[in-house]
């Protein structure tokens, strides 16, 4: 897949498109450089729009992220961005094999908690069929978290948000924090 960044000039409306590598797209490595570049049409540094597509998480990207303390998928709420069902096996493997520093593993634990939080309760905005599927996702992750609750219990309070802990922790047998 080709990865690109797109920028639309505020002055003339020209669209500049820049090619990115998979790593640059995944970790937004060129964002500040591209956002500060001049319009190729009029030379303006003002723009209306900037965006780039991102690759799906895979073993290669997780490895880069996990081993580099200065790399982020997103500056804030990284656990929320990573919390996708298809990432569950990657996360469990990394956690169980202690592939990365504890700070990065705690982000993966938080992402697993978010997957449960996002899927455990029926929601009116989804159809009955979608809610059944969502519940199955949560039911798949809850035993995995229960098995690893000793690791979750060691996380810092700020690493897993209160509203997530209130819903997920009782489901995995962690009713109180130390």
- In order, the DSSP letters of 36-61 are TSPPTTT----EEEEEE--PPP-HHH
Best CA proximity match to 45, nearest among 30, 64, 58, 32:
32
pLDDT of residue 176: 57
pLDDT, tens only, 16-69? 999 999 999 999 999 999 999 999 999 999 999 999 999 999 999 999 999 999
pLDDT of residue 178: 47
In a domain, 38, yes or no: yes
What rounded mean pLDDT belongs to the chain?
94
Give the Cα separation of 164 and 118 in Å (integer).
Answer: 9
Within this chain, do residues 13 and 37 fall inside the same structural domain, yes or no? yes
Within this chain, do residues 104 and 31 fall inside the same structural domain, yes or no? no
Within this chain, do residues 165 and 116 fall inside the same structural domain, yes or no? yes
Within this chain, do residues 31 and 72 fall inside the same structural domain, yes or no? no
**Percent of the residues in the chain that have a pLDDT greater than 70, as a whole number:** 98
Give the Cα separation of 133 and 178 in Å (integer).
Answer: 34
Within this chain, do residues 71 and 147 fall inside the same structural domain, yes or no? yes
Instruction: Collect all residues with Cβ–Cβ distance below 8 Å to 25 and sequence separation of at least 6.
Output: 3, 5, 52, 53, 54, 55
Give the Cα separation of 70 and 80 in Å (integer).
Answer: 18
> In this structure, what token pair is assigned to residue 53?
């597509």
What residues make up the domain containing 74? 59-171
Higher-confidence position of 75 and 109:
109
96-112 average pLDDT score: 97
Name the domain boundary from 36, 52, 68. 52
Instruction: Collect all residues with Cβ–Cβ distance below 8 Å to 164 and sequence separation of at least 6.
Output: 110, 113, 114, 117
Helices and strands (H, E) in the chain, number of each type: 9, 3
For 105, half-sphere exposure in the C-beta direction (CA atoms, 13 angstrom radius) is 16
- Strands 15-20 and 47-52 come out as unpaired
Within this chain, do residues 36 and 80 fall inside the same structural domain, yes or no? no
pLDDT of residue 37: 95
pLDDT of residue 76: 86
pLDDT of residue 85: 97
Within this chain, do residues 105 and 165 fall inside the same structural domain, yes or no? yes
Higher-confidence position of 157 and 42:
42
Best CA proximity match to 167, nearest among 130, 118, 122:
118
pLDDT of residue 175: 77
Give the Cα separation of 62 and 152 in Å (integer).
Answer: 20
Number of domains the chain is built from: 2
Question: Is residue 100 very low, low, confident or very high in pLDDT (cuts 50, 70, 90)?
Answer: very high
In a domain, 177, yes or no: no
Q: Which pTM was predicted?
A: 0.89
Within this chain, do residues 141 and 68 fall inside the same structural domain, yes or no? yes
Given a cut of 90, whether residue 172 has pLDDT beyond it is yes
At 16, which helix (H) or strand (E)? strand 15-20
In a domain, 69, yes or no: yes
Question: Is residue 156 very low, low, confident or very high in pLDDT (cuts 50, 70, 90)?
Answer: confident
Question: Is residue 79 very low, low, confident or very high in pLDDT (cuts 50, 70, 90)?
Answer: very high
Within this chain, do residues 109 and 153 fall inside the same structural domain, yes or no? yes
């Amino acid at each position: 897949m080709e990865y690109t960044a797109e920028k639309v000039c505020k002055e003339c409306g020209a669209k500049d498109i820049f090619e990115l590598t998979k790593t640059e797209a995944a970790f937004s490595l060129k964002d500040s450089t591209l956002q500060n570049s001049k319009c190729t049409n009029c030379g303006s540094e003002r723009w209306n729009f900037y965006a780039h597509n991102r690759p799906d998480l895979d073993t290669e990207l997780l490895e880069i992220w996990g081993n580099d303390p200065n790399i982020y998928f997103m500056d804030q709420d990284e656990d929320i961005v990573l919390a996708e069902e298809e990432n569950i096996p990657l996360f469990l493997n990394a956690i169980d094999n202690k592939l990365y520093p504890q700070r990065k593993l705690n982000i993966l634990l938080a992402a697993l908690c978010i997957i449960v939080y996002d899927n455990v309760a029926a929601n009116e905005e989804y159809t009955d069929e979608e809610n059944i599927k969502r519940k199955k996702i949560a039911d798949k992750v809850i035993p995995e978290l229960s098995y690893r609750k000793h690791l979750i219990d060691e996380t810092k309070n700020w690493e897993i948000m209160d509203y997530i802990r209130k819903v997920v922790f009782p489901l995995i047998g962690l009713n109180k924090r130390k």
